[in-house]
Amino acid sequence: MNRSKLLTVSEITKQIKQTLEADFSQVSVIGEISNYKAHNSGHWYFNLKDSDALICCTMWRSFNSYVFFTPQDGMKIIVSGKLSVYPPRGSYQIDVRSMKPAGEGELQAAFEMLKQKLNAEGLFDPARKKAIPQFPQKIGIITAIDGAAFKDMISVAERRYPLAELVIAPARVQGSGSAETITEGIKLLNTRDDIDVIIVARGGGSIEDLWSFNEEAVARAVYNSKIPVISGVGHEIDFTITDFTADLRAPTPSAAMEMATPDINDIFAFINDFSYNSTLKINEYCRKGRKRLSSVLSSYGFRVPLDIVRNKSQLVDNLLYKVLQKTDHRILLHNNKVSLLTKVIESNNVQRILERGFTLVRQGNKYIKRKAGFDSNEESELIFADGKVKIRPGNNE
């Protein structure tokens, strides 16, 4: 290379760019992150440093979307990529293609750092935790719709409380972009006013698999949810930052659903107890009522009117007896009189006299009792015991 030749800035920069980019077309670098910034465009800008040096890094959106964790300042990582020179500023940087923590301990350290930070902000404050409703109508679920965790939760809900409706906001629960879909799910469910409780869940896995639940964005979204959130991530032993900001932490997805739902058998038992106990109770009420009633009825006060009634009743009986007696006497007298008169009447019965052979004479409407009353010019009727004979007027003087 001819070093004595006069070069313009652009020319030398071009030569540097070619040299550097050719020589460092594939590098892997270990270092600590500092000054990490995620731009609105989605691109990441940060520095990698050690005790003596610093190098700028960029990671474009198309690549950083494959990173399962969000970088944090102080985290030790290994990046792979190529060196690139940016002529307008005469700067060089690593164009990062992939990134991973420098070791398991790095994630643990990031976890502890975020935990301390959020704790200091008061995001784990027990006083800020919302109560989980006892009888949820709609349970929002954020998890992978095709995952075993969701199936487990469905069967728990079916067994314990089929009255509920599960509203699932499907999310990626591991790998790149998972934190975003989980965060969106929480926000989406919070746009509704009919969700009683949210479960954020994922089955077991490695620390990398569960990492989205250690992301600050997810932990904050859970904290900011107006709807109470239960976290059920991984297994019993797995704790995530989301567990600390959730209103309730469940050891597993199934346990989260158990905490979100009452047990239908408990409700049945409660209702059965109610039926049994309240029936006993009401019988007791009735027994007491009857006892009180009968003691009141047998009290002296209640007996007085009855005694009065009884006395009066006796008086009435006596009077009635007397009245009946007198009436009977009079009826008897009248009966005697009637039979006497009947006899008189019977003794004067005309038919009897006719039977003895006497005859009655009638002219017109009158019975003729004396000769003087007889008119010989009129038609006469002779009445015998056994019939009548008509006699026309004639010369029979």
Partner 1 sequence: MNKKNNNKFEKDLKRLEEISELLEDNSVDLDDALNLYEEGIELSRTCISALKKAELRITELKKKLDELNLEDEE
Binding site for partner 1 (CB under 8 A): 134-135, 137-138, 145, 154, 157-158, 162-170, 181, 184-185, 187-189, 194, 264, 267-268, 270-271, 274-275, 277-279, 281-282, 285-286, 288-289
* Smaller CB separation from partner 1, 271 or 308: 271
Give the integer Cα–Cα distance in Å for 28 and 219: 31
Give 17 or 172: the residue with its C-beta nearer to partner 1: 172
Alpha carbon 110 to its chain's center: 43
Question: Is the CB of 21 or the CB of 165 nearer to partner 1?
Answer: 165
φ and ψ of 307, to 5 deg: -65, -40
> Smallest distance, Å, CB 51 to partner 1?
41
Q: How far is the CB of 154 from partner 1 (least distance, A)?
A: 7
Q: 3-state SS of the chain: helix, strand, coil percent to 5?
A: 45, 20, 30
CB of 158 to partner 1, least distance (A): 5
Least gap, CB of 263 to partner 1 (angstroms): 11
User: Is residue 99 helix, strand or coil?
Assistant: strand
Token pair, residue 305, equals 């009117």
Shorter beta-carbon distance to partner 1: residue 144 or 219: 144
Beta strands in the chain (DSSP E): 27-38, 44-49, 54-59, 76-86, 91-101, 138-143, 165-170, 197-202, 229-233, 248-250, 360-363, 366-367, 380-384, 387-391
Contacts of 387 (CB under 8 A, 6+ apart): none
Query: Closer to partner 1 at the Cβ: 170 or 205?
Result: 170
Place of tokens 């009638």: 362
φ, ψ (nearest 5 deg) of residue 378: -105, 155
SS3 355: helix
Name which of 134, 158, 160 is nearest 263 in CA terms: 160
Q: Of the two residues 140 and 251, which places its CB atom closer to partner 1 in the complex?
A: 140
Q: Which residues contact 255 (CB under 8 A, 6 or more apart)?
A: 232
Task: State the nearest-atom distance from the C-beta of 11 to partner 1, in Å.
Answer: 42
Among residues 281 and 312, whose Cβ is nearest to partner 1? 281
Query: Hey, what amino acid is at 128?
Result: R
3-state secondary structure of 226: coil
Q: Which is closer to partner 1, CB of 165 or CB of 381?
A: 165
